Structures are given as structure tokens and as C-alpha cells.
Structure 1
């Protein structure tokens, strides 16, 4: 019981990774504060407050990205809140009509999430403006005036967010691409401290996909080719290739550091990792437009020193097979570092070229891969989701019904400030149950704490000017903290809401109690509706996500091994590696969502974590083999290799079926027996090569065969260990599932 309580508290109080959104907080404070200040000086405090709130809402739709995208999204939000304020003001006095239109507005708000973050934010602020104005109905003149104020507010928010943007239109894109290289640098830095893991690679993969999405979004609607866009795309692809090489390097070090010869060059290895990280950070700075010096001198010197150690080791061979095995391992390290150097140099050249003048930017360039697939129309996307099979449709319907129910309740009960009920519903109700469950407690807890603080401030501070300064500060801190922890943000935003109300009408503890009561009602309705209407449990989705990830692991393994077997070219490997990384990332995200759900079975957490971790490690081993293909010369395939590949591929398919059906997988095949058949063939190659070295024979077919299969010799053992660990995790999962059913 204690562990469940500890998990629950940690789940509520934990902060999301990231930094304070200080720029967003400042912009929100200005959007709100300036209209309030103008209203105070012109003695139009209520009008200034309304414009301030609407400007604050439009500012929330600033999703970043290129200038024209931000302008489009914020303009849509401005028009949307103007229409919502007009209609809401007129229908607020007709309860039955207000309920029907609230349902429709809620439905539209839910469907808006079809159009990515921009659409979701626009839908949210339009919904907020509608449910706020129906609670304060009026005549046609008031409706027109509110619509005009909304247009003014939107114009102010757009001016604030966009006026300086045309001078740096590519800054968000360049920052997104730079994050990819910073993430790879952080991954390398974490290795000496033994803190590298699947989560590090997932962060890099997420950064790469974020950059791809940002670039794709920027290209929508642009007919002309852009030199800058194409260079940024090339850098993203370079980042993907660098990720593969870095994974291979880290994997080699993890496997081979036990050898004495590796320990002898440990300092050089540590220096190489440090220089790789520094070089990547410098490249990231240049890509983002910051001044930085990219110097590979130290890395070149370290590479030469390692080559010298390799030559010394070669000369010291005394016919020992162990010595030759470690020599091959050291040779692979030198080759990998050399490859990384070439990749970094090429990447650095492209990064530096981003600062070239406009004449060069407009030059002709060779065609490259299409950045974005043909986009479907907005209408067809909506039509595709008008079905109960669509999670977005179900969520939109859930929002509409719950908002309509909230309006009905506060209309019938004559609940003062009833729109807080619907506002809470809109902010708490999320597409998956775990997130809604978390928002429920964060919203209620943050509101209660914030209301108490606001009541104390209102009772002790009589100066409206001081209160307005506090209001602006609470907006700044509230918006800055949203990305860190929603509950913390709610504390400040609750103070903001109550103090704004206090400026118009002094509040007391009774009024504060109403705020808490309305929040409890709204949060309860949101929680209940999600629990009763198509609850979206991550526990139900995770088996499919894990099965998909395992299938993609199988596809990646087969593609790589097909090249070693001489049955396929390697042109599809990078694309398949990306698909595999995305599948594992999706499974990881679903697993994180599962951890937010109530009554999660703690016993399931460890085997799921193990399965996800070893999937990532399995992919690392396969990536080493994929990267080594650059040095592969098509040596005759090993006779037993086909049996090994067939066994692993079948095993991964069986694991995917087992985890999807939540049953125990078949027993493990005798993989050790297969390895024992492969090992003598590899040993024979090494022995033959040692004999060649005794007579100073250089480049021979035997030498090439040893190079071709040296990595394979190491990684097939790692692959067996990692699929064995995955099999064991799925067996434990099946036992727990069986116990739960019983």
C-alpha cells in the first residue's frame, strides 16, 4: 500500500524534462499586462480586462515555427474567438440553445486536434471563449463589441508574437535541427558515466522526428524550392547517419573494454569520446546560428594515436588467437572513429554553409528526397475520422457531451460562476485516461492551493495597482511552468483568475469556495466521462505497440543480415532503422502513459521495462552490424549463418505474437548449438590469418574475411543474450497476466 501511495505522489509531483518556458511566460505577461494597463489609464478597466484575457488566449496558440504558420494559426484563433464571443453572448440567455451549441463547440474543439498542435490549441481557446461568454449573455450591441474587442486582442497578440519574426524566419527550424546533434553529444557524454540507455537513443530519435516534422510543416504551401530547407534536410539525414555510427561505437566499447588491449588505450578512448561530444556541440551551435569554432585537430591526433597503438599490437602478435581477436577489435575501433571523423567533417561543412550569402543560397542544387508527402485536404482528413473507430472522434464526442452536461448542471442549479465548471472540463479532459487522471488531481490540488493564496493576497493588499503587478507575475510563472508540471502552473493561474475577479468585484472566502466547488464539479465530470465513455486505457494499446516494435526489430535484423548473406542490397537499411526506432519510441510513450493510469499493476512494470530496454539493446547490436557493412566486401557467407538468422527471425515473430496475445511464447530454440557451429568457422579464419602474419602476408582474402566477420563474431553473442532477455521478460508478463485472470 505504501509503495502505491509513493508512486501516486511521485506521479503527481514529478516534473517533465525540459526547461522553464521563460519566453512564453514573458510574452503571455505582456499580452495580458499591456491591455490591462491601458484600460486602467483610460478608465475602461473592464474593457481592458476583456481584451487582455482574449489576447492571452490568442497568445496561447503561438506554437512556434515559421512566420507564416504562426500567423495562420493565430489569425484562425482570432477569428474563432471573435465568432465564439459573438454567438456565445447572444445564446447565453437561452439555456436549451446554449447546451446544444456547447455540444457542437466541444465537438469542434475535439476535432481540432486532427490538425496537430496548432489545431489543438486553436480548438482549446475557441472553446474557452465560447463557454466563458455564454455564462455572461447580452444583446446584439454587447455581442458586436465583444467581437471587436476579440479582433483587437488578436491583433495585439499577433503583433507581439510576429512583428520581429520576419527577420529570423529560420531560427526555429535551425534550433530544431541543432537539437538533434546536441542530443547525440549528450548520449556520448553519458557513456563514461555508465548512464547511457534506451531512453537516450529515444530522445535523439524524438529530436530527429521533431526536426523532420518542423521542416515538413514549414514546406507546406510553398511552391518555390528553398536552399535553406534542403540544407537543413541534409543535416537531419546526417544526424540520422551519425546516430547509427555513434550507437555502433558505443556498442563496440561496451563489448570490448574487457580486453586488456582496450584498457591500455582507455585514456585515448575517453579523450576521443570527449572530443566527439565537443565537436557535435559546436556543430549544433553553428546550425542554430550561434558563434562557435569547429576544430577536429585533437580528434585527428587521437585517431592517429589509436592507429599507432593498433600497429604496435599487430607487431606484438605472438601467434596467440586471443591477441589477434583483440587486435581485430582495436582495428574496428580505429575504423569506426575514422568513419565518424569523415561524417563530422562533412556535416560541419554543411553547417558552416548555412551562413553563406543569399546568392549562394539561391544557386541551383541537385534534387533531393521529397520532404513532405502529398497532404490530404482538411475536409478529407475530417471525413476519415467521422467514425466510432477513430480515437479522435470518440474524444471529440466525449468533450461535447461533457461540456453540454456541465452547462446543463450549472444552468439548472443556478451555480454562480458556473463557467468554471466547463472551463475545468475543457482543460482536464484529455484523449487518454492516464493523462486525464493526472490532470484531475493536479487541477484540483493546484486550484485549492492557489485559491487560498489568492484569498490571502486579496485580503491583505488593497492597492489595485499592486494586485495588477502580481497578476502579471502570476501569468508569467504560470505559463513558464506549464511544460514542467501542470499542477504547479495551476497554482499561479488560479491566483491570476481570482485576483482579476477581485479587481472588478472584491472576493471573499465564500467566493473562493465557489471556485473550488466549481473546479471539483468540472474535474469530476471530466474524470467520470472518460471513465464511462470509451475509456482509452494505455494498458489496452501497449501489447499491440510492443508487438509492432518487435516486428520492426525483426525486419531490421533480416534486412541487415540479408546483406551479409549476399541476398539483398543495403539501400533500405537506414529507412528500416528509422521505422524500428519510431516503433520502439511509440511503445515507450505508451508505457509511460500506462504509468500515469490509476491502479497500475506494479508487478508488470519491471518486465515491460526489461522488454523495452533489451529491444533497444538488440537494435544497437544490429546497428553495429549495419554500420560495419561499409567495410564489408561480400565475403562468401558462413554456412551456418542462414540457420542463425532464420532462428532469430522466427523467435522475434513468436515473441511479437505472444506479447500481442498476452500468452507465453514457445520455448527458446537451442541458439547456443547454432553458435557452436558458427564459432569453429570463425576460429579457422583467425588461425589462417595468424599463419599468414607469420610470413608477413598483407591484404589477402583471408584477411578480408576476418574483417568482414569480426563484428559478426562479437555481435551474434550479444544478439542471443538480448533476445533471451526479451523472451524471459515476455514469459514473466504472461505469468502475471495469467495470475491476474485467475
Structure 2
């Protein structure tokens, strides 16, 4: 009962402002054909046009660019029309309809290109009710889809670049928050991670938006692509600065530099926020001046180190902080100098290239097969009824059965509640004021409110979509209390069947997929360390993205596992996701040091190879169920790095005393790299060990397991 109450409370919450304008457009596209049909004494024809518009609107995806959206809507119109036609043709052969509709339901769950609307159209057409005749059904359905497409796409020629600008503006804002989060006392992970996550998601959204606009924007103006590259550099350097700042705080004796660094970072954040508003150039100039002031202070610390008043390793770390600030400043200036307003391609018809087929939805496991089987069963159970009302039983199964049992419970609860309220409301209104114009008004109001709320509340969508579908699919049948009662009963029966299907057919599939996804995550993070060991920085950001997506898939599996019967996601794997994020941050910091110090170090490469070997070995153990390999040499490799830092510091001090302070000798080059990278390497080793330990606790593999080895650092202490 508590789960039902929680589902109702969440289902009727409004987390964001509904798009009322979009809802009004859909309401007009669906309601006006009914009104015209009533005026021309052709109600069935008007209902067929309105139903086509409804089904295409059901498959619409708002917020994507003009060309991509137009392709999607026109393709959906073709699929819906085909589905309606096939459904009408199968009326005389019900057992063929059982097989075909079940197969198409499975395809709709598997293919992102087909979706659910063609299946709904096929079901509605098969059960019939009323129709204008087979000769007119297909063109009228297609006309409805085209009317909806034209209405939805009408504003795009005037504001076709709006989604792109909005995506980039959000990226600028979230990156400004991230940069600002690096000022002052370092934020704890609990406060830093949401900022990092928001910036990463915003960059992904901006990358997706630009990919949609790849043609024709890229052919006219490369500015958006260059801005995106600059924003990625801002993200990388900000993440690296957090670790470098912590290391500098432990090593540098001077206490004045943090204030100068905060001033520089705050100026960068202001420049990022001002860029979408048109004031980025002025703020970027201020940011450059603030960075120059910080560089002067770092130079004074270097002079103190050369004079023996400060440690050389501290100067090297602070020097790396300065170089990261400079790279951040250059990236912010580049993003501010490139104006998105210059991307103004001339209006043109969208390109209709064929999609890569098939476009499969990943990570669903056996759900498509389950949905197809339960839908076919629902169709078979309706054959003895011989009533057009049987469609509600099948439709409830189609829209309620979800990939997990918990999601199915939530969806069935909201579906039954919405159907009860919507059916009763529609019946009351029609009893008080029957007639074609009343029907058209109810459809218009229900569509306008329902499609506005659909993206933010499934509960409200269920309430308003109920009278909408009932009226459109059975336009000539009087909708009274009896029809409302039957609809509620069939909806409840369909919900029960959906729950049984989710509970009995492959209810625990995520438990099988989770270990494989954990292994993929370990492999992706091991690849980061291996690339750094070989000093392969080309495409490193892509490797970081791959590792982040692999971790996201593990998080999705844990969320789904929690919704399976008896599912209890291991808390250790939640911790593993946190440590995986730290590993990515550590590798970004080491990569930042590599970009300005190409010399590298054999000791550092040895440590990075040891980290990669540990993660690769554990991934193999998780994937095969074998026991992990014997303890590795992470401790030894880290001790070698620490001793190398000390040895190079002594050699470098000798060079300074001999008058070679400004010469870029091999000793100085290696010292600059390894002294700056040592803190990040140390935390990388520690986080890799913690990641391994968390995975071993969360995904047992084999018996007689060893305990993770300990990693010690030059600063003292070993970390288990």
C-alpha cells in the first residue's frame, strides 16, 4: 500500500513548468478536425483525421531541431498510417492479428524508430468501432498526421536555432557553477559531485544538439563546434584544478596564492555566465587580467623556491596550477570570442536520409519479448468477447508493462486512477451536454491539457488522455456510464495482466546484466590509465566519455535492480560508482599535467600500468566468475614515484645552485612533470584500490578471495 501511495504522490507531482503552448497546438490539431467534421456532417471522417493527429503527437519528441523533428514526425505519420491500415485488414482474421500485433509490440520496445503509436493505431483499427470505410481510412489518418506535423513545425523557420542556443546557454551556466565551486575551501564530494554531474550532462546535451545541427550549420559556420571544444577544455581543466589546488594547499607554505586563484576563477565564472548574454568579451578580458595577476604571484613563489625559501616540489605543483589556469582562461576566451549568433543557415527543407536500421534500444534485456508475448496473450483473451471495447484491455497492457516490475506497478497504479477519473468526468460532461460540438470541445480541452502535462506528469496525462482516446476511437458510440464502467474494468484487468507478466516472465534480468556492466566499467577506466601510461592524449576525452557512460549504465542497472522482485542493489556498487568518478577525475588531472609536460616519467608510467592491470584483471574476474589475480605491485610502484620525486628534487637543487636555474634540462623537465603529477598519481592509486575493493564486495567472484592490497603514499599512511 505504501508503494501505491508513493507512486500516486510522485505521479501527480509537477517537477517543472508544463509547455502549455505545445499542448494548445496539439489540442487545435486534434480538435479542429472534429469541429470541421461536425459542421460538414462528416463526424466519422473528422474523427479519423483527429485520431491520426493524436497518434502522431503521441510519438512526437519536443525539443529537438527542425530537421530531425520533421523527419521523425513524417516517418511516424507513415508508420501510424500503415499500422491503422494493417489493423483494419486483419479484422476478419483475429488469430493472425494476435501474432502480428504481438510481434509489432515487441519491435516497438526494441526499436527507437518505430515506437508505440503504430501499435496503438493497429489495435484501435482492428477493434474498429466506427470508421469512414477502408477506402478513406488511410488517407484521413495520414492527413491527421500531416496536420499535426505542420502545426508543430510551423514556428521552427523563425526560431530553428533556439534548441541549440538553449543547450549551449545551459552548458555555459553549469560550467560557471563548476568553476565557481572550485573557489575557496575545496568542496566535499557530496557538494562537488552534483556540480560536476550537471556540467557533464549539459555538455552531453550540447553535443547532442550540435550533432542534430551538424547539417547545415557546420557547412555555414564552424563556431558552434569550436565553442563546444572550448567548453570541453573548460570542464577538463576545472576538474584538474580541484585536485591540483588540494595538492598545492598541502605543499606550498605561502598562504597568499589561494586568494589570487579565487579571484582568477571567479572572473572565469563571470565570463562564462556573461557569454550567452552577449557580455562575454568584456568579462573575458577581466578574466585574463585576473589570471595574469595569479601568474605573477606564482612566479614570486618560484623565486622563493630558487632561493631556498620554498620547496621546489611545491613550486612545481603551483606552476602546474598556473598552467591549468592559463589553459582555462584561453578556453573561456575562445568560447566568448566565438559567437553562436553567426550560425544562421538559410531556411531549407530537411534532408530525408534513411536512418541506420535497425535502431535498437540498448539495455532492455528480455522486455521486448515479454511485451510481445503479453500483448499477444491480451489479444487472444479478447477474441471471445467480440466487442470493440476489448481494445482497452490490450492498450492498458501496451502502455503499462515496463522493463521492471517496480515501474510496472507505478504505471498500472497511475493508469487505473487516471482512467477512473477521466472516464467519470467525460461521462458526466456528456450527460449534461450531449452533442458533436460538446465532443469536440472535450477532445480539444483534454488534448491541450494532456499533451502539455504528458512530459511532466504521467498521472495527469492518464486522466486527460482517457476521454480523448475513448472519444476518438468510438466517436459514434454514445459514451455513458456503462461505457465508462467497462473501460475501468478492462483497464484494471489489463493492469493485472501487465503485473503478472512483469512478475512471472524474466523478472530478475538485471541481476544477470549487472556483473557484465560492472566489468565493462572497469575495462573503460583501465583504458584511461593505459592511455596515460603510453602518453596517448589524442582522443583521451573520448575515452573519458566512454568510461562515464559505462558507469552510468551500472547506475541504471542498480536502479532497475531495486525495482525487481526481491532486488537489493549492493551498496558497495553505489560506492564503486563514486570511486569510479574519482578515478576519472584523477586521470583528467594527470592528463592536464601531461599536456604541458610531454617528457613524462618511466616511474609514472609504471604506476599507471599497475592501475590498469589491476582494473583489467578485476574486470576479467567479474566477467568470468574466477578469483582475482594475485596482489599487484601498486604499493611498490607508488613508492618508486615518491622516491623519484625526492631524487629529482635533489638533482634540481644542484642545478639551481650551479647557475642552471633557467635552463630546461632533462632533470628539470622530468621533475616538473613528476612533481606536479605525483599527488594525482597517489590519489589515483588510492581510488583505484577503493574502486576494486567496492567491486569485490558488491560482485563476489570465486572463493578464497584476497583482500585488496594497500596503497601507501609519500605523505604517509597506507590506504586500504
TM-score normalised to structure 2 length: 0.82
CA distance in 1, matches of 2:59, 2:407: 21
Of 110, 114, 117, the match for 1:120: 114
Q: Larger deviation: 398-407 or 155-164?
A: 398-407
**Contact 2:418–2:462 (8 Å) recurs in 1:** yes
Change (3 A) 1:355 1:507: closer
| 1:49-198 matches, cutoff 5 A | 49-63=47-61, 65-92=64-91, 94=92, 97-111=93-107, 116=112, 119-121=113-115, 124-136=116-128, 142-176=133-167, 179-189=170-180, 194=188, 195-196=190-191
- How far 1:618 sits from its partner (Å)? 0.5
Q: Report the CA distance shift for 1:395/1:595 in structure 2 as closer, same or farther (over 3 A).
A: closer
Give the secondary-structure state (helix, strand or coil) at the position aligned to 2:484: helix
2:324 pairs with 313, 316, 336, which one? 336
Question: Aligned-pair distance for 1:127?
Answer: 1.3
Deviates more, 1:337-346 or 1:574-583: 574-583
Alignment of 1:591-740 (within 5 A): 591-601=558-568, 604=570, 606-634=571-599, 637-638=601-602, 640-661=603-624, 665=628, 668-669=631-632, 671-690=634-653, 697-701=661-665, 702-734=667-699
CA distance in 2 between partners of 1:496 and 1:551 (Å): 50
Q: In the TM superposition, what is the alpha-carbon distance from 1:482 to its structure 2 partner?
A: 3.2
Deviation at 1:478, TM superposition (A): 2.9
Deviation at 1:81, TM superposition (A): 3.0
Q: Which residue of 2 aligns with 1:33?
A: 31
Q: Separation in 2 of the partners of 1:656 and 1:206?
A: 26
d(CA) in 1 for partners of 2:617 and 2:250? Answer: 33
Q: Give the match for residue 370 of structure 1.
A: none
Q: Paired residues, what number?
A: 690
Which of 580, 595, 617 does residue 547 from structure 2 map onto? 580
* Change beyond 3 A, Cα 1:708–1:318: closer
Shift of 1:500: 7.1
Question: Could you tell me whether the CA contact under 8 Å between 1:319 and 1:690 is conserved in 2?
Answer: no
SS in structure 1 of the partner of residue 566 of structure 2: coil
| Aligned: 1:544 with 2:516 | yes
Q: Give the secondary-structure state (helix, strand or coil) at the position aligned to 2:534.
A: helix
Q: Residues 720, 50 of structure 1: CA spacing in aligned structure 2 closer, same or farther, 3 A cutoff?
A: same
Q: Residue 67 and residue 484 in structure 1: after superposition, are their counterparts in 2 closer, same or farther (change >3 A)? A: closer
Gaps of 5+ in 2: 347-352, 705-720
Alignment match, 1:516: 488
Using the TM superposition, give the Cα deviation of residue 104 of structure 1 relative to its aligned residue in structure 2, in angstroms: 1.7
CA distance in structure 2 between the aligned counterparts of 1:715 and 1:23, rounded to whole angstroms: 50
Distance in 1, matches of 2:300 and 2:249, equals 18
**2:237 corresponding residue in structure 1:** 245
Unaligned runs of 5+ in 1: 359-373, 564-568
2:274 paired with 1:309: no
Of stretches 7-16 and 232-241 in structure 1, the one that deviates more from structure 2 is 7-16
| Aligned residues of 1:106 and 1:396 also touching (Cα < 8 A) | no
Q: Secondary structure at the match of 1:418?
A: helix
Question: 1-side partners of 2:90 and 2:566: how far apart?
Answer: 42
Shift of 1:105: 3.9
Provide the residue aligned with 1:590 in structure 2: 557
State the Cα distance separating 1:442 from its structure 2 match.
Answer: 3.6
Cα distance in 1, alignment partners of residues 306 and 698 from structure 2 = 50
Deviation at 1:607, TM superposition (A): 0.9
- CA–CA distance in structure 1, aligned partners of residues 553 and 470 of structure 2: 40
Quick check: 2:252–2:315 contact (8 Å CA) kept in 1? no
Shifted more, 402-411 versus 174-183: the winner is 174-183
Partner of 1:297: 285
CA displacement at 1:718 relative to structure 2: 0.4
When residues 478 and 98 of structure 1 are mapped into structure 2, their CA distance, relative to the original with a 3 A threshold, is same
Q: Check whether the contact 1:107–1:396 (CA below 8 A) recurs between aligned residues.
A: no
1:78 is displaced (CA, Å) by 2.5
Moved more, 478-487 or 661-670: 661-670
**RMSD over equivalenced CA pairs, Å:** 4.2
* Alpha-carbon distance change, 660 to 440 in structure 1, aligned in 2, over 3 angstroms: farther
CA contact (8 A) 1:39 1:47 kept: yes
| Pairing of 1:130-529 with structure 2 (within 5 A) | 130-136=122-128, 142-176=133-167, 179-189=170-180, 194=188, 195-196=190-191, 201=196, 204-213=199-208, 216=211, 226-228=218-220, 230-257=222-249, 264-283=256-275, 285=276, 293-294=280-281, 295-317=283-305, 323-352=311-340, 354-355=342-343, 378=357, 381=358, 395-414=367-386, 417-431=389-403, 435-448=407-420, 450-451=422-423, 471-494=443-466, 496-497=468-469, 510-529=482-501
Are residues 299 and 545 of structure 1, via their aligned partners in 2, closer, same or farther at CA, if it must alter by over 3 Å? same
Displacement after TM superposition at 1:660 (Å): 3.1
Q: Distance in 2 between matches of 1:10 and 1:665?
A: 46
Following superposition, the deviation at residue 227 of structure 1 comes to 1.7
> How big is the shift at 1:308?
3.0
Check conservation: 2:44, 2:130, Cα contact below 8 A. Answer: no
Task: Report if aligned partners of 2:227, 2:338 keep a CA contact under 8 Å in 1.
Answer: yes
Q: Distance in 1 between matches of 2:263 and 2:429?
A: 56
**In 1, are the aligned partners of 2:87 and 2:123 still within 8 Å (CA)?**
yes
